[in-house]
Amino acid sequence: MNQIKIILVDDLSFMRDAIRSIVEKENITVVGEAENGSEAVQLYSELSPDIVLMDITMPVMDGLESLKHIRAYDSGAKVIMCSALGQQKYIIKAIQLGARDFILKPFKPARIISAITKAVGINDK
Ligand SMILES: [Mg+2]
């Protein structure tokens, strides 16, 4: 399979750095980073990534709102939510909005990789 292109969306740069170092050990390329949901919508339209890995709690526009916009723009968009423990209450909402998976932080590297490879193997366009 070709390189998997992803964008990382989190308001905390250390979290983006942590995920970047995990995925770059695999056949996955980080093509962009955003620190809020609004930037993520913009980046998605510019870069057409295979996968978006997105936090929920962010300034300007949160991850659920961003997910809604991205899925409205591209109904086949593959978005994996990645959010803090205590935010399980958002899981159902995220899945209803079309999220492919929901990873709780703190996460194991293998959980991130398996969520990404599973999501790219599914094509519902
Ligand atoms: Mg956050």
Among 73, 89, 39, which residue's Cα sits nearest to residue 81?
89
CA 123 / ligand 1 centre spacing (Å)? 28
Distances (CA, A) of 28 to 25, 51, 123: 8, 10, 18
CATH tag, 4-120: 3.40.50.2300
Distances (CA, A) of 32 to 15, 55, 85, 121: 14, 15, 25, 21
Which residues are placed with Cβ below 5 angstroms of ligand 1, an ion? 11, 55, 57-58
CA 2 / ligand 1 centre spacing (Å)? 30
Reported as a single tens digit per residue, the pLDDT across 8-67 is 999 999 999 999 999 999 989 999 999 999 999 999 999 999 999 999 999 999 999 999
pLDDT of residue 1: 59
